[in-house]
Structure 1
């Protein structure tokens, strides 16, 4: 149940990234239209020769950066212009030239070199009392920090970036320079967005949106249309991160219209590509395809500057994948690889091969995908000049390779790739993605049977996101912890983690995450033997997925519902003969199985079709419908054999043996059971499967009475007595204990906690105890005494107190 699937892990990581990151920056490349301003100055006969020459050089420098992507020429011309303006004594022009030079250096030499230059010049301006120059350098420092974030932006670097941006906003607002005021506001909006991305803060998103609106108003007062377009783009990016796609697209299209009016093709193409990605994330694949194709046409004309043509090509192909045009995407990827190879465009070739990895995965060609991924890594590592983004891309590729190895059950290789990916992300200062990869590493450890390591990796990610206040990251990590605990058999702790994740997702209004949490809770409750509670959660997950159009997740929830319904029916009346009419519970189980089969056929997923057929076949066997079971097996077995799924084949062979037995063909029953035995023993090395087959063979050869289906079918419905439904519907004692223990552990930095150990002695300090008490109160929706930790110092005593309080509040007697 909790075994990892490589393809599912890949989808899960993509979903997390979509939820945790805006995907595309709120800050477009530097460009303040200095070229237009200084071109006019260069043609002004009233200016001195040095000023006119410097103006021409500065105009050419910005054009070299934006239109030609020529950083070397931009650096040279901006430096020459700076020296001439200094000689001419034009302080304002010196500040403009320095700002351009700082941003050029950030692109060419990296953010540290750019910041060092800005700090040195800031000190000079401060010493000379040049407040405008000082404000310009503060603005530059904020721009560089927001465009090239490294590490935790809530740390010293982020705090300084906000201080610089606010100081620049204050100065330019006071100086009545509406254009520069707008630019400073835009830098402040980008700081808020960087903080929002790293901490998943709705408050920061709202701040970014408001500041971007203020920037748009300032640019409008200055009649600065390029600035207005950038401010609209920033608003669109903020809305996209808030998952308000309609407003994101509206603002993006307004910006797009301005870029077109201004004749700025590069910015038009960038905006189109952003719109394509936002629409694709919102499952509007057809519209996304149109935008991506328009962006690609623009970049084909102007060239692959900064890799934008390659990025647009990838957007087009991925949009084709989304609409199901896999062959078209495949052809595009092949053509792109050939084209980039012929032009020696290394960056484009890397992007095209990365796309081919996605295409091969979409075609279920794991080996081909792995080959392209390894070629892509080799090409990436061979790039002559590698930026921090290139290193992050390498880490992402390694993560993709890990997922492919998982799908092929090469878990040792997957673990190595995950660890390398985490290391590279951390070295590049991208702690957020490093911790997302830890989720996959946790799944890899589950595949290796290393459950303690799986819990450790998931808990490390959970601790990182919790400390950052990154709520959705915290929730996704809780889900992974839940999976790891459940795989280890610690179902109570898995349930506690699943509940914590669900509560956070609900609070955040994150429907996808809520569905995932409810689905997992359904699985864990089923594994614990509580089929009725399992069905409650699975039904909730299904309804949300249906509303969201997540057919695959809906199908998984239907499978859980079918298994739960099977268990509930098994606890009632089981037909003893084919003539006996099955109970309503069996009819309900069959109906759910048939719904699952219909959805599986619609999705054209052969593994899902086989799983659904197997579930229906089980029901027919238990209800003594041999002929119906035979038809199901006749369809399912060839499909499983064609897939090469040995476990599915073995399970279907067991079902065949049982079908023969209930149909009165006892002599035919041992042979399929023996075939299943051979598969479990020789191919799968599954001792539990071997034992089950031996027991079944003895049973059918002995001619004894047929056992209950939930006892005889290996890999069946995860049966177990749910017990009588208690009148009291509050949390069970073990659930209360697990929740208290987990909430305490999350604040203490230790891995385990004995039930009778005083929490304060185990490391829960007074500050953490306040948060701990608040979390318990919120989890159980109960008022608690302020002296809780002192009156009930251990998990055991606190569990007894809470159990008593909750039962009394619900009007039930206390269990002795």
Structure 2
């Protein structure tokens, strides 16, 4: 029992590694000398520590072992709500919402017929609401909540009703029904207030009601709710809860445009958490403090706060929390446009997650790293020849990461992550000039997105298809896919989705305009032949001499041969890709052409004009229209 209490104390103080070690020792002793009921309780307690650590695999292992022991007890129903409820939460953490729903419904079939198990029934219905909301079935979640509230009324338990309303608030938020979420949160808080359940009222005001208000951008009312929670915490002399209030208040004050007040609140929270021995709480405040400084563009202070959080994690010995803080550090560097430093920090987060066998964390940080890699690579100056090798190596490293993300997602049986992993692999194929490979990845991502009915994932997959079409010079296909992307973005109503649409639209329009600028020779001849009146009205430019297309073509052929090391396959009609000019070399060729002929060429020029003959025609037109003299 002493070990069990020690584990609980360490978990509360945020020292999860120590809590888990003590929990394991406690379980081992109980397995040798304790009752099955004690063993089950110990398994569930240890499982809770793993849930706090977000370790889905070990949480499931503890939950399954506990439910197996439950079947050996004389009275299985009395503990089924707690054991199955824990197992359901573990399945949800593991992105197995369907399995969670199934397990919960099976347990309800066993428990519900028993008139003495009304409370257990409400527990299970409560967990079923959570599973359904994560699965995306808000309508059935509403039906189950009505059922749960009716049973709670039947036994006259306001606390259970409050918990059901709280869960429905979370469900409404997931369904983006924010008005209903606010109502449910307010009802839950009022019920707890009537009960005089001070601790629960404080946490529900902070974690539920305030959260909804922040999502609704109602920061002033969110601040008021935090003040009420803080006053109540002071009244009952609960320093940890008061510190929790201050930590949330610091971020809300920053949102209200007063970062200095936010910093002061954070400093107070840090002192209180330190005094209480809650290192995890202290670390979270440092993380929030870093975000406050970042919002104020004070990157030096943001970095100091993030590094302090890292130091604290090192003292605690929590690998997963350290990985999270490395991610925060990475975001600070990205905000300051320090791409290499950001990559270094996020790479550390990935390494830490790997070392801790945290596959889910590894996937998460890989995807964040991919975003940084793409931003970093696209920021390279295309005119700097020395950067071509850096670009190539960066693409190769990023591709390895993206493929690792896909493999881990498959092992985790996480279809959402698998979808995004394929999106990132496809993105790297695009950056490396391999549209066919990118299309295969985009098709896989799109298939999964449709299967999971996930609009955001579908948006990314279709956006990738737009880029594939552009690289294949299929402007019609790009426009058709762009329409699909626009439709999804409108349905989502998300600013980031719209920003993605705008970027893709700009790419498509740019490629379309370039195609329009390359008419057939017959049409061009007609355009270039002015009428007699126009000729007499036009001023004579005696300094301009139109370039000779044959001389220009031969000059470009010589440039390409020099780049690829000679070769009979380099001629005017053979596609450059077949002549040895890959996507990375094409960046260098475009740079050389711009410098040689003093014109600006679009980044898609090598895809829109894949042969030297086509590029020559474009350059002749550009030089002629802009009166640029080139004699070779």
Task: Give the TM bin, normalised by the shorter chain.
Answer: 0.5 to 0.7
Give the conservation status (yes or no) of the 8 Å contact 1:465–1:473. Answer: yes
| Aligned positions of 1:118-157 closer than 5 A | none
Q: What residue in structure 1 maps to residue 492 of structure 2?
A: 643
**Aligned counterpart in structure 2 of residue 524 of structure 1, from 332, 338, 348:** 332
Q: What residue in structure 1 maps to residue 372 of structure 2?
A: 560
Q: How far is the alpha carbon of 1:392 from its aligned partner?
A: 1.3
CA distance in 1, matches of 2:481, 2:255: 31
| Aligned positions of 1:252-401 closer than 5 A | 252-253=66-67, 255-258=69-72, 260-261=73-74, 263=75, 265-278=77-90, 280-281=92-93, 288-289=100-101, 292-293=104-105, 296=108, 297-298=110-111, 301-303=114-116, 307-323=119-135, 326-340=138-152, 345-382=157-194, 385-388=195-198, 391-393=199-201, 395-401=203-209
| Aligned positions of 1:46-57 closer than 5 A | none
Worse-matched range after superposition: 321-330 or 360-369: 321-330
Equivalent position SS for 2:341: helix
| Aligned positions of 1:135-534 closer than 5 A | 186=1, 188-201=2-15, 202-203=17-18, 206-207=21-22, 210=25, 214=29, 225=35, 229-230=37-38, 232-234=40-42, 236-238=44-46, 240-241=48-49, 244-245=58-59, 248-249=62-63, 252-253=66-67, 255-258=69-72, 260-261=73-74, 263=75, 265-278=77-90, 280-281=92-93, 288-289=100-101, 292-293=104-105, 296=108, 297-298=110-111, 301-303=114-116, 307-323=119-135, 326-340=138-152, 345-382=157-194, 385-388=195-198, 391-393=199-201, 395-425=203-233, 427=235, 431-432=239-240, 434-502=242-310, 504-505=312-313, 510=318, 512-534=320-342
Equivalent position SS for 1:640: helix
CA distance in 1, matches of 2:122, 2:233: 23
CA RMSD after TM alignment: 4.9
CA distance in 2, matches of 1:432, 1:207: 23
Q: Structure 1 residues 271 and 594 mapped into 2: Cα distance closer, same or farther (>3 Å)?
A: closer
Q: What residue in structure 1 maps to residue 544 of structure 2?
A: none
Q: Structure 1 residues 406 and 279 mapped into 2: Cα distance closer, same or farther (>3 Å)?
A: same
Worse-matched range after superposition: 320-329 or 589-598: 589-598
CA distance in 2, matches of 1:284, 1:464: 38
Q: Structure 1 residues 266 and 538 mapped into 2: Cα distance closer, same or farther (>3 Å)?
A: same
| Aligned positions of 1:757-772 closer than 5 A | none
TM-score (norm 2): 0.59
Q: Structure 1 residues 204 and 556 mapped into 2: Cα distance closer, same or farther (>3 Å)?
A: closer
| Aligned positions of 1:697-716 closer than 5 A | none
Q: Structure 1 residues 209 and 645 mapped into 2: Cα distance closer, same or farther (>3 Å)?
A: closer
Give the conservation status (yes or no) of the 8 Å contact 1:236–1:252. Answer: yes
CA distance in 1, matches of 2:317, 2:113: 40
Q: How far is the alpha carbon of 1:583 from its aligned partner?
A: 6.9
Equivalent position SS for 1:200: coil
CA distance in 1, matches of 2:251, 2:148: 34
CA distance in 2, matches of 1:443, 1:312: 35
Q: Structure 1 residues 211 and 586 mapped into 2: Cα distance closer, same or farther (>3 Å)?
A: closer
CA distance in 2, matches of 1:708, 1:481: 43
Q: Structure 1 residues 427 and 232 mapped into 2: Cα distance closer, same or farther (>3 Å)?
A: farther
Q: How far is the alpha carbon of 1:563 from its aligned partner?
A: 1.8
CA distance in 2, matches of 1:230, 1:205: 17
Q: Structure 1 residues 611 and 463 mapped into 2: Cα distance closer, same or farther (>3 Å)?
A: farther
Q: What residue in structure 2 maps to residue 771 of structure 1?
A: none
Q: How far is the alpha carbon of 1:208 from its aligned partner?
A: 5.5
CA distance in 1, matches of 2:306, 2:474: 38
Deviation track 1:508-528 (CA, whole Å, cap 9, x = no partner) reads: 665653443333333221221
Deviation track 1:484-530 (CA, whole Å, cap 9, x = no partner) reads: 22112122332333344345556766565344333333322122122
Deviation track 1:667-695 (CA, whole Å, cap 9, x = no partner) reads: 9xxxxxxxxxxxxxxxxxxxxxxxxxxxx
> When the two structures are aligned, how many residues end up with a matched partner?
469
Q: Structure 1 residues 657 and 496 mapped into 2: Cα distance closer, same or farther (>3 Å)?
A: same
Query: 5+ unaligned residues in a row in structure 2: which ranges?
Result: 400-422, 429-440, 517-597, 604-632
Q: How far is the alpha carbon of 1:314 from its aligned partner?
A: 1.0
CA distance in 1, matches of 2:47, 2:155: 38
Deviation track 1:734-787 (CA, whole Å, cap 9, x = no partner) reads: xxxxxxxxxxxxxxxxxxxxxxxxxxxxxxxxxxxxxxxxxxxxxxxxxxxxxx
CA distance in 2, matches of 1:620, 1:514: 42
Deviation track 1:402-423 (CA, whole Å, cap 9, x = no partner) reads: 2222222222222222333344
Give the conservation status (yes or no) of the 8 Å contact 2:31–2:39. Answer: yes
CA distance in 2, matches of 1:342, 1:232: 30
Q: Structure 1 residues 464 and 345 mapped into 2: Cα distance closer, same or farther (>3 Å)?
A: closer
Q: How far is the alpha carbon of 1:237 from its aligned partner?
A: 1.0
Q: How far is the alpha carbon of 1:233 from its aligned partner?
A: 1.4
Q: Structure 1 residues 472 and 650 mapped into 2: Cα distance closer, same or farther (>3 Å)?
A: closer
Q: What residue in structure 2 maps to residue 715 of structure 1?
A: none
CA distance in 2, matches of 1:511, 1:310: 37
Q: Structure 1 residues 531 and 568 mapped into 2: Cα distance closer, same or farther (>3 Å)?
A: farther
Q: How far is the alpha carbon of 1:440 from its aligned partner?
A: 3.9
CA distance in 1, matches of 2:28, 2:300: 48
CA distance in 1, matches of 2:9, 2:192: 29
Give the conservation status (yes or no) of the 8 Å contact 1:534–1:564. Answer: no
Q: How far is the alpha carbon of 1:556 from its aligned partner?
A: 4.3
Q: Structure 1 residues 432 and 337 mapped into 2: Cα distance closer, same or farther (>3 Å)?
A: same
Give the conservation status (yes or no) of the 8 Å contact 2:373–2:394. Answer: no
CA distance in 2, matches of 1:604, 1:447: 33
Deviation track 1:156-194 (CA, whole Å, cap 9, x = no partner) reads: xxxxxxxxxxxxxxxxxxxxxxxxxxxxxx3x3453244
CA distance in 2, matches of 1:303, 1:532: 62
Give the conservation status (yes or no) of the 8 Å contact 2:172–2:180. Answer: yes
Q: How far is the alpha carbon of 1:538 from its aligned partner?
A: 3.7
Equivalent position SS for 1:409: coil
TM-score (norm 1): 0.47
Equivalent position SS for 1:568: coil
